[in-house]
Amino acid sequence: MIEQTLSIIKPDGVKKNLTGNIIQLFENNGFEIKAIKKLILTKEEAEDFYYVHKERPFFRSLVDFMTEGPIVPIVLSRENAILKNREIMGATNPKDAAEGTIRKMYAESIERNIVHGSDSLESAKFEVSFFFNYFDII
Ligand code: CMP
């Protein structure tokens, strides 16, 4: 099934000038870029985006990290986009990530892990519409 998923190049990935490399990886893996932008989240926006984690001990630190600099949200499309993107990203903790994955290659820690990717159809819908409206997605 052709799906859409949301990827975010996080502040650590943008700061390390990895935006181009990561987009290239997506294109090399058959993803189409349907929408893309660069922005800085407010604390409130980051809290809303990660509301599912609001009771977690790392929530405040995650919000601080996600607001420390620009991010690049991207709408990606391909067959099984959600699962395939998660494969390319690797495990949340770079220590557990497979060789060749984005997080294995570039991430410093479980928090500063370079990219985010939607984990289900339901979260993809919420996350895509968090950053983009219908007319932004080509
Ligand atoms: P992401 O895939 O964006 O989803 C939630 C984020 O919270 C995750 O990537 C990490 O950046 C962060 N995170 C998850 N688990 C932990 C943890 N145990 N400690 C700190 N940050 C975490």
| SS (HEC) of 64-86 | HHHCCCCEEEEEEEEECHHHHHH
Dihedral class, residue 80 (left if φ above 0, else alpha if ψ from -120 to 50, else beta): left
pLDDT for the residue 55: 98
pLDDT for the residue 59: 98
Give, for ligand 1, the residue of 62, 95, 101, 109 to mutate: max count of ligand atoms closer than 8 Å to Cβ. 62
Q: Which residue is catalytic, options 66, 115, 116, 132?
A: 116
- Closest to 10 in 3D by CA, of 51, 42, 38: 38
By the 8 A CB rule, do 137 and 128 touch? yes
Structural domains in the chain, sorted by start: 2-136 (3.30.70.141)
The token duo for 78 is 């391909």
pLDDT band at 10 (very low <50, low <70, confident <90, very high): very high
Query: What does each C-alpha distance from 11 to 4, 57, 80 come to in angstroms?
Result: 22, 21, 26
Quick check: CB of 92 below 6 Å from ligand 1? Answer: yes
Whose alpha carbon is nearest atom 21 of ligand 1?
Answer: 111
pTM tops 0.95, yes or no: yes
Mind listing the pLDDT tens digit for each residue in 38-64? 999 999 999 999 999 999 999 999 999
Quick check: CB of 118 below 6 Å from ligand 1? Answer: no
Whose alpha carbon is nearest atom 11 of ligand 1?
Answer: 111
Indicate if 53 belongs to the active site. Answer: no
